[in-house]
A and B are shown apart, each in its own frame.
Chain A
Amino acid sequence: MKDEDIDVLVIGSGAAGAALSWSLTEKGAKVVCLEQGGWIDPSTFPSLKPDYETHLTREGDFNLSPNLRDRKEDYPVTTDGENPPFVMMFNAVGGTTIHWQGIFPRFHPSDFKVKTLDGVADDWPIGYWDLEPYYDFNDKMLGVSGLAGDPANPPRSKRPTPPLPLGKMGHTLVKGFEKLGWHWWVSDHGIISEPYKGRAPCKLHGKCMFGCPMGAKATTDRTYWPLAIEKGAEIRTWSRVKEVTVTKEGKAKGAIYFDKDGNTREIKAKVVVVCCNGIGTPRLLLNSKSNLFPDGLGNSNGLVGKNFMTHPTHFINGVFEETMDSHIGPMGSPLFSQEFYETDENRGFKRGYMLIGERTFGPLSQAQNIPWGKAHHTEFGKIFPHQVGLTVVADDLPEETNMVTLDDKEVDTNGIAAAKVTYSLSENSKKMLAHAVEKSTEVLMAAGAKEIIVPPPTNLAHLMGTARMGTNEKNSVVDKNNKVHGVPNLYVVDGSSFTTGAGVNPTSTIMALALRAADKIWEKRTAWK
């Protein structure tokens, strides 16, 4: 595509960038996407190798952390604060969906109105029902597996493919939830259980985070991108954006980027959409300084990078006498409980959390905390394969002191300032996690566990909140349509635009927001000049 023809420049090809690019292309827009990584060769996925777990424990090209993976296309993310998160992301066509588990819950209606309902944080300027048609459409595009009818969530249409199997560990958890009379439901997954739109169904190998060469997992390189490209969208891989450029009138003009040979290039478009995730997006906006925007784009109120949210995560394991084979089956969550999701003042904290049944990795991961020496085999034999895990996904309310800034020392391979994440758990989150440990222990014991293992919490970073959506220019970076305040043709569409993070995995909401934003951008097309 010739540069002068470009209507929309999308930066980042992950969950949001792919859905948005497809939608706009489908409507007739001429879309170019700049992606700092390339197409990932599926034959290189660690999931094809019996020693796949070494990619978790060792530095290397498929580690979940960009710092440990250290590919040319990765950028460093330094951390600080009392509880620095373990940052996970992937830089390639498909973005972080490449190593994502595919867990696909939706926000609750209450998640959009926490100020009104609970007096904390801020309300979103949109509600659940604004997003619902997009959630539903996206589920159909991806072939989401699951089951409708969950009383803990608003009604949703029949899932495009049936639920994935629970396995022995899932059935064991069911026993616990049933004994206590608590809520549970089989999970929605962005993993197809039956053939769907030319994609092969899941064969239950359970290596989802190490790449799905089958295409059963709905990575966007296998779902939205082929459709978008067929319709005329263009992805320029190995193109790392240095800054978003602006006209003298303060409109977004395009971007300056490095191509794969390190040459600096400039691209122009009528609309620019930043989809670089909750760390990459504020990093780019803060790096986009100009005379008109000396503190970075969209940052006149100083909120770009502020209110970083992750999901404080706790993995609680029950050890059972029986063999549990938790490593068998699709990685991620066979089932979940939202028994403690909505606010209950008696618990001593606001909002709540989801418990998800968590499959385990293989023996190498499970051996990590087993002592060396004489007792090694005995101790290993007690936990493998006898563990059943529950993961707590806690609603992490925004705090201005949790933030993404530019690192003043580290740079990426093109010399662009790296990102720095500062994060500390709030008192509310600490109380919530303590409650969740107690309740997870209760359900695992009810399921028959003989011992409970509670490691320290790990903030596995879902990246959210750093270019938040809000009701006015003072409390936010983008408006209800994901448009950046003060720049008429610049949009931010990814987890960074979340006003609050809810207690569920974010991808489903990121994609629904992207499809909605595409509609809003298209509605404004007469203003494109």
Chain B
Amino acid sequence: MNNKWSRRSFTKAVISAQALIATGALTLPVACAETKKTEGDAPLDSQQQKTLKYAMDEIIPANEKMPSASEIGGVGYVLNILEELLELTPLFISLTDKIEAHSLQHFSSDFSTLNKDNRIAVLTNMEQSEPELFKVLKDFTYESYYTNKEVYELIKYEPHTTGTFGPEMTPFDEKLLDRVKTGPPTYTKI
């Protein structure tokens, strides 16, 4: 947010936004939707990314119609958020560390090498023992999934962002109120 917005610049922006909206030309890209990180500059190392990928895929797994969280770029989504919000990086490092710690403690193996049932057991255990950290995993997995264009198409959701033409809707039909209109006033007259 630019803290120096003046009344004049505000008015100018309003006019341009209205003009662009009227033409349907103003659209903005989905933030953080694309994976653009490379291994070298990523805030999580390859092992942490692998842990995150397997965990996200247990939160939202694939089925016959829908892709899993990682298949629509869930890990890349998180990495891009971490690039924008550096202060979140320790939280995700802690998250992946804890997942691995639980995995080692209960199954003596890396999380990614566990079978599906055991991975679910690790996450269920974490959900109970460390609910706040687990919530970070769940919330960001859901966020990555339900802000994704591919998912929107699969669930037939059109976001109708304000910079586009809006949806078609039938105008209100006053005849619907015929019964109510014939009723007596129900408010207390004072």
Contacts and interface: CB of A to CB of B under 8 A. Distances in A.
Contact of A363 (B58, B157, B160, B164): B157
A205 B60 contact: no
Tell me what chain B mostly uses at the interface: helix, strand, loop, or mixed.
Answer: loop
Interface in B137-172: 138-139, 141-143, 145-147, 149, 151-152, 155-157, 159-167, 169-172
Contacts of B60: 372, 376-377
Contact of B169 (A45, A165, A221): A165
B186 A183 contact: yes
A478 to B, nearest CB: 22
A153 B187 contact: yes
Interface stretch (B26-34, B36-44, B90-98): B26-34
Contacts of A184: 180
Contacts of A381: 155
B30 A329 contact: no
Nearest to A368: B142
B111 to A, nearest CB: 16
Contact of A151 (B21, B142, B180): B180
A238 B186 CA distance: 47
A207 B162 CA distance: 7
A52 interface: yes
B177 to A, nearest CB: 7
Contacts of A477: none
A110 B17 contact: no
Interface string B46-62: 00000000000011110
A364 B161 contact: no
A256 to B, nearest CB: 21
Interface size class of B (residues with CB under 8 A): 35 or more
A524 to B, nearest CB: 28
Interface size class of A (residues with CB under 8 A): 35 or more
Contacts of A237: 5
A488 B171 CA distance: 51
Interface stretch (A20-28, A35-43, A278-286, A403-411): A35-43
Nearest to A372: B59
11 contacts: A41-B5, A42-B10, A43-B17, A44-B1, A50-B30, A58-B139, A61-B1, A149-B177, A164-B172, A229-B7, A377-B65
Chain A to chain B: the 7 pairs with minimum beta-carbon distance, closest first: A203-B166, A51-B147, A165-B169, A364-B146, A39-B10, A204-B166, A110-B188
Interface of B: 1-7, 9-11, 13-14, 16-18, 21-22, 26-33, 58-61, 63, 65-66, 120, 123, 138-139, 141-143, 145-147, 149, 151-152, 155-157, 159-167, 169-172, 174, 176-177, 179-181, 183-190
Interface of A: 38-45, 47-54, 57-58, 61, 71-72, 93, 108-110, 112-113, 117, 127-128, 147, 149-154, 162-167, 171, 174, 178, 181, 183-186, 200, 202-207, 211-215, 221-222, 226, 229, 235, 237-238, 260, 327-329, 338, 341-342, 362-364, 367-368, 372-374, 376-378, 380-381, 384-385
